[in-house]
A and B are shown apart, each in its own frame.
Chain A
Amino acid sequence: MDVFAALSDPTRREMLRHIADGPTTATELARLFPITRQAVSKHLAALDGAGLVERISSGREVRYSLRSERLDDVMGWVAEVGGEWDQRLARLKKRLG
Protein backbone atom coordinates (compact mmCIF):
# COMPACT_ATOMS: atom_id res chain seq x y z
CA MET A 1 0.00 0.00 0.00
CA ASP A 2 1.39 3.39 -0.90
CA VAL A 3 1.46 6.41 1.37
CA PHE A 4 -1.56 8.10 -0.21
CA ALA A 5 -3.74 5.03 0.12
CA ALA A 6 -2.69 4.64 3.74
CA LEU A 7 -3.51 8.28 4.48
CA SER A 8 -6.85 8.16 2.69
CA ASP A 9 -8.47 6.52 5.72
CA PRO A 10 -9.53 8.95 8.51
CA THR A 11 -8.97 6.37 11.27
CA ARG A 12 -5.41 5.81 10.13
CA ARG A 13 -4.77 9.54 9.97
CA GLU A 14 -6.04 9.89 13.54
CA MET A 15 -3.86 6.97 14.65
CA LEU A 16 -0.88 8.60 13.01
CA ARG A 17 -1.52 11.76 15.03
CA HIS A 18 -1.35 9.74 18.25
CA ILE A 19 1.76 7.92 17.12
CA ALA A 20 3.36 11.26 16.23
CA ASP A 21 3.02 12.26 19.89
CA GLY A 22 5.22 9.34 20.88
CA PRO A 23 5.77 5.61 20.28
CA THR A 24 2.57 3.71 21.00
CA THR A 25 1.43 0.07 21.25
CA ALA A 26 -1.57 -1.43 19.50
CA THR A 27 -3.17 -2.02 22.90
CA GLU A 28 -2.85 1.65 23.82
CA LEU A 29 -4.41 2.65 20.50
CA ALA A 30 -7.25 0.16 20.94
CA ARG A 31 -8.24 2.01 24.12
CA LEU A 32 -8.53 5.27 22.18
CA PHE A 33 -10.57 4.10 19.19
CA PRO A 34 -14.06 2.54 19.07
CA ILE A 35 -12.81 -0.38 17.01
CA THR A 36 -11.53 -3.85 17.83
CA ARG A 37 -7.94 -4.64 18.69
CA GLN A 38 -7.85 -6.70 15.49
CA ALA A 39 -8.96 -3.68 13.44
CA VAL A 40 -6.27 -1.56 15.10
CA SER A 41 -3.68 -4.16 14.11
CA LYS A 42 -4.88 -4.08 10.50
CA HIS A 43 -4.63 -0.30 10.37
CA LEU A 44 -1.15 -0.45 11.89
CA ALA A 45 -0.16 -3.05 9.31
CA ALA A 46 -1.35 -0.67 6.57
CA LEU A 47 0.64 2.22 8.05
CA ASP A 48 3.66 -0.05 8.41
CA GLY A 49 3.28 -1.28 4.83
CA ALA A 50 3.25 2.30 3.59
CA GLY A 51 6.40 3.05 5.57
CA LEU A 52 4.65 5.65 7.71
CA VAL A 53 5.44 3.91 11.00
CA GLU A 54 8.30 1.84 12.32
CA ARG A 55 7.87 -1.23 14.52
CA ILE A 56 10.14 -1.24 17.55
CA SER A 57 10.20 -4.53 19.46
CA SER A 58 11.15 -4.55 23.10
CA GLY A 59 10.74 -7.98 24.63
CA ARG A 60 7.13 -9.02 23.98
CA GLU A 61 6.03 -5.46 23.40
CA VAL A 62 5.87 -3.81 19.99
CA ARG A 63 5.70 -0.04 19.84
CA TYR A 64 5.01 2.00 16.71
CA SER A 65 6.80 5.26 16.00
CA LEU A 66 6.33 7.79 13.20
CA ARG A 67 8.58 7.72 10.14
CA SER A 68 8.20 11.36 9.22
CA GLU A 69 10.30 11.10 6.06
CA ARG A 70 7.40 9.33 4.34
CA LEU A 71 5.23 12.37 4.89
CA ASP A 72 7.72 14.22 2.72
CA ASP A 73 6.11 12.39 -0.22
CA VAL A 74 2.82 14.08 0.63
CA MET A 75 4.47 17.46 0.89
CA GLY A 76 6.18 16.75 -2.44
CA TRP A 77 2.81 16.05 -4.07
CA VAL A 78 1.37 19.29 -2.68
CA ALA A 79 4.38 21.25 -3.94
CA GLU A 80 4.32 19.64 -7.39
CA VAL A 81 0.58 19.93 -8.00
CA GLY A 82 0.47 23.41 -6.44
CA GLY A 83 3.33 24.49 -8.69
CA GLU A 84 1.54 23.18 -11.78
CA TRP A 85 -1.60 25.18 -10.93
CA ASP A 86 0.47 28.29 -10.17
CA GLN A 87 1.94 28.09 -13.68
CA ARG A 88 -1.41 27.39 -15.31
CA LEU A 89 -3.18 30.25 -13.55
CA ALA A 90 -0.31 32.62 -14.35
CA ARG A 91 -0.74 31.76 -18.05
CA LEU A 92 -4.52 32.22 -17.78
CA LYS A 93 -4.06 35.60 -16.11
CA LYS A 94 -1.56 36.66 -18.74
CA ARG A 95 -4.05 35.72 -21.45
CA LEU A 96 -7.20 37.15 -19.90
CA GLY A 97 -5.85 39.85 -17.61
Chain B
Amino acid sequence: MQDPLPKVERTVHLRVSSADLWQHLVDGELASLWVGGTMTIDPRLNGRVTLKTEGAPAIFGTVEEIATGQSITWTWRTAEGEPTQVTLRLEEVDDGCQLTVTEEMLQYEIVFVHPTFA
Protein backbone atom coordinates (compact mmCIF):
# COMPACT_ATOMS: atom_id res chain seq x y z
CA MET B 1 0.00 0.00 0.00
CA GLN B 2 1.30 3.44 -0.93
CA ASP B 3 2.08 5.96 1.80
CA PRO B 4 -1.16 7.94 1.94
CA LEU B 5 0.25 11.15 3.40
CA PRO B 6 -0.83 13.74 0.84
CA LYS B 7 1.94 15.59 -0.98
CA VAL B 8 2.21 17.32 -4.33
CA GLU B 9 5.49 18.20 -6.05
CA ARG B 10 6.03 19.93 -9.37
CA THR B 11 9.17 21.16 -11.15
CA VAL B 12 9.36 23.63 -14.00
CA HIS B 13 12.29 24.91 -16.02
CA LEU B 14 12.29 28.61 -16.87
CA ARG B 15 14.63 30.60 -19.11
CA VAL B 16 14.95 33.55 -16.77
CA SER B 17 17.47 34.95 -14.33
CA SER B 18 17.21 33.78 -10.73
CA ALA B 19 16.75 37.38 -9.60
CA ASP B 20 13.78 37.86 -11.93
CA LEU B 21 12.20 34.56 -10.91
CA TRP B 22 12.69 35.32 -7.23
CA GLN B 23 10.81 38.60 -7.64
CA HIS B 24 7.93 36.69 -9.23
CA LEU B 25 7.80 34.45 -6.16
CA VAL B 26 7.98 37.00 -3.36
CA ASP B 27 6.49 40.18 -4.84
CA GLY B 28 2.75 39.96 -4.29
CA GLU B 29 1.85 41.96 -7.41
CA LEU B 30 4.05 39.81 -9.64
CA ALA B 31 2.95 36.59 -7.92
CA SER B 32 -0.69 37.54 -8.50
CA LEU B 33 -0.02 37.44 -12.24
CA TRP B 34 0.60 33.69 -12.20
CA VAL B 35 -0.82 32.30 -8.98
CA GLY B 36 -4.37 32.98 -10.12
CA GLY B 37 -5.77 35.34 -7.52
CA THR B 38 -4.74 38.33 -5.47
CA MET B 39 -1.60 37.31 -3.64
CA THR B 40 0.16 39.21 -0.93
CA ILE B 41 3.45 38.12 0.58
CA ASP B 42 5.57 39.69 3.27
CA PRO B 43 8.83 37.91 2.40
CA ARG B 44 10.40 37.62 5.82
CA LEU B 45 10.22 35.14 8.68
CA ASN B 46 6.69 35.12 10.17
CA GLY B 47 5.51 37.41 7.36
CA ARG B 48 1.88 37.13 6.24
CA VAL B 49 0.80 35.35 3.06
CA THR B 50 -2.70 35.68 1.64
CA LEU B 51 -4.40 34.46 -1.50
CA LYS B 52 -7.86 35.66 -2.45
CA THR B 53 -9.45 34.03 -5.44
CA GLU B 54 -12.90 34.80 -6.80
CA GLY B 55 -15.36 32.09 -5.88
CA ALA B 56 -13.00 30.33 -3.48
CA PRO B 57 -12.29 30.72 0.24
CA ALA B 58 -9.40 33.06 1.07
CA ILE B 59 -6.20 31.38 2.19
CA PHE B 60 -4.11 32.84 4.99
CA GLY B 61 -0.59 31.85 5.94
CA THR B 62 2.73 32.65 7.55
CA VAL B 63 6.26 32.48 6.18
CA GLU B 64 8.08 29.71 8.05
CA GLU B 65 11.48 29.82 6.34
CA ILE B 66 13.12 32.04 3.80
CA ALA B 67 16.54 31.96 2.15
CA THR B 68 16.53 35.03 -0.05
CA GLY B 69 17.00 34.17 -3.69
CA GLN B 70 16.81 30.43 -3.01
CA SER B 71 13.67 29.24 -1.25
CA ILE B 72 10.61 30.28 0.68
CA THR B 73 8.33 28.11 2.80
CA TRP B 74 4.97 29.10 4.18
CA THR B 75 2.13 27.37 5.97
CA TRP B 76 -1.39 28.35 4.96
CA ARG B 77 -5.00 27.31 5.33
CA THR B 78 -8.53 28.43 4.65
CA ALA B 79 -10.82 29.14 7.58
CA GLU B 80 -12.35 25.66 7.30
CA GLY B 81 -9.56 23.69 5.66
CA GLU B 82 -6.58 21.73 6.84
CA PRO B 83 -3.22 23.53 6.96
CA THR B 84 -0.66 22.74 4.28
CA GLN B 85 2.95 23.75 3.83
CA VAL B 86 4.17 25.21 0.55
CA THR B 87 7.84 25.39 -0.44
CA LEU B 88 9.13 27.16 -3.53
CA ARG B 89 12.74 26.23 -4.25
CA LEU B 90 14.77 27.94 -6.93
CA GLU B 91 17.88 26.44 -8.49
CA GLU B 92 20.07 28.03 -11.13
CA VAL B 93 20.81 25.85 -14.15
CA ASP B 94 22.86 26.47 -17.30
CA ASP B 95 20.18 28.22 -19.32
CA GLY B 96 17.94 29.62 -16.62
CA CYS B 97 16.31 28.39 -13.45
CA GLN B 98 14.50 25.38 -12.15
CA LEU B 99 11.60 25.99 -9.78
CA THR B 100 10.35 23.17 -7.57
CA VAL B 101 7.05 23.54 -5.77
CA THR B 102 6.01 21.26 -2.94
CA GLU B 103 2.70 21.39 -1.09
CA GLU B 104 2.05 18.88 1.66
CA MET B 105 -0.32 18.22 4.47
CA LEU B 106 1.16 18.97 7.86
CA GLN B 107 1.48 16.33 10.50
CA TYR B 108 -0.08 17.27 13.73
CA GLU B 109 -0.87 15.44 16.93
CA ILE B 110 -4.30 14.11 17.59
CA VAL B 111 -5.68 14.85 21.03
CA PHE B 112 -7.88 12.12 22.46
CA VAL B 113 -10.57 13.46 24.71
CA HIS B 114 -11.25 11.28 27.73
CA PRO B 115 -14.44 11.57 29.77
CA THR B 116 -13.89 12.95 33.23
CA PHE B 117 -15.80 11.88 36.31
CA ALA B 118 -16.54 14.14 39.23
Residues of A within 8 A of B (CB): 1-2, 4-10, 13, 16-17, 20, 42, 46, 71, 74, 77-78, 81-82, 84-89, 91-93, 95-97
Whether B4 lies near A71 (C-beta < 8 A) is: yes
- For residue A71, which residues in chain B have a CB less than 8 angstroms away from its CB? 4
Complex CA distance for A77 and B107, rounded to whole angstroms: 16
Interface of A is mostly: helix
- For residue B34, which residues in chain A have a CB less than 8 angstroms away from its CB? 88-89, 91-92, 95
Q: Which of A7, A93, A96 contacts B4 (CB 8 A)?
A: A7
Whether A4 lies near B105 (C-beta < 8 A) is: yes
Given contacts A5-B110, A74-B6, A78-B6, is CB(A89)–CB(B33) below 8 Å?
no
Q: Which of B5, B6, B15, B36 contacts A88 (CB 8 A)?
A: B36
B117 at interface (Cβ–Cβ under 8 A)? Answer: no
Number of interface residues of B (CB under 8 A): 31
Residues of B within 8 A of A (CB): 1, 3-8, 10, 12, 14-16, 20-21, 24, 33-36, 82, 84, 99, 101, 103, 105-110, 112
B103 to chain A, nearest CB (A): 5
Whether B82 lies near A9 (C-beta < 8 A) is: no
- For residue A93, which residues in chain B have a CB less than 8 angstroms away from its CB? 12, 14
